[in-house]
Structure 1
Amino acid sequence: MLRQLLQSVLTNPLALAVWGGLVLTSLAVLGYDLVAKNAELPSLMKLVWGLTVLYSGPLGLAIYTYAGRTQIPEDDIWRRGFRSVAHCYSGCGMGEVIGVIVTAGLLALDTHLVIVGTFAAAYVLGYALTVGPLMQEEVPFWEAMTDAFYSETPSITVMEIAAIGTDVWLAGEAHIGDVLFWSGLVFSLTIGLVVAYPVNLALIRAGVKEGMGNPATMG
């Protein structure tokens, strides 16, 4: 019953139009804030927040407002966890979109191979979005790659199991030209974000991850 209810919502034109409006509004608010009030943020972090809001609309904007602006009153582990999961999320989401376009669209592979290809693309892009900011901080490439492998693998794995599992459950029978194929993908991305947040908190508490830098120090 839950699956049918979600499928109904995710294929409803009015619901999709409302969601699209919320995403566009959230992106406009984010863009204005990044240009007018938070230009000090590194370019890769601006990309991270842009992708996070693109995938999750108002939720992504709320996370940025709480944890990503230079105007945050004080930093804490909860904000560090949100910055960390958003950072992972932005790369993994990009990898999923590219993965399904290539495997399901261009190559027309069966579901099992689409899952494998999408997982692989999510890992590649997830690591890339981790290595980039480290190299901006002048960390050598191979050191950044090693750090990304050890610190990001648990988060990426949990995020992708949740996201891809949800997507297959909701839209595993949908074709790439179906509305449900894409709306299910978007919905599943947010599920991955939510599920991976406590994993990132645990990794920061354990000292495996440092979390992204305090934006307040950049203001």
Structure 2
Amino acid sequence: MRNYLLLLSALGLVCLSPAGYGQGMPSYHYSPPPAMPNMPLPYGPFGNGENLAHREGAGSYQLADGSWQRSEKMVFDGSKLVIKDGAAGKLRFDANAIRQLEVKADTFIVMAGLPGQSLAEGPAFYQSCVNLRGVRLLAQYPRNSKATYILSRPDAAPLLLPTGKARFKAAMLEVVKDCPALTEQITDGSLRREEVVQIVQEYADCRRRGKAAF
């Protein structure tokens, strides 16, 4: 009996130790899962429950002349953008005057200027998957079809990446043609459309290393 009590005491000390506590008790530290670009996810943390187009917070917006402006307090409701921290009081822009809107954690509403999207169709909702050194990959996740990806680079027009395997491969080989290692992986099929986020990240790194002739 005495040995049994000693054993229970020893087990209790292990459970109360830092190592034992971590194993015996659940962790309540929450880390949101990373976005999986090859899965049919919903449009993400957009809207406010009533208006899918709603955005509110700090960010930047691009006007029709191509210029970007910064704001700490802005509200977008799908039809207009209201800037609340302007020196002259509130500023209001019609949605047609906004080309792109970047709010909080690098999410975008693209109003104009991207392939396959027109103002007449209303705001297009995109999630930013990659934003490295001016190279951006935006994604839209339709519920019943393949994700749509748009590649944005500082020195080229936005590129709508094809959904078909062969056409995607040809398009990406043209983009990364000055990055030999990446070109080889795409050519031999090691990196495919399902790995588009990895491709774009490595492409951005290639530019940083100066292996691409820009």
What is the TM-score of this pair, normalised by structure 1? Answer: 0.29
Higher strand share: 2
Name the larger-Rg structure: 2
Bigger relative contact order, structure 1 or 2, given CA contacts below 8 A and separation 6+? 1
Higher helix share: 1
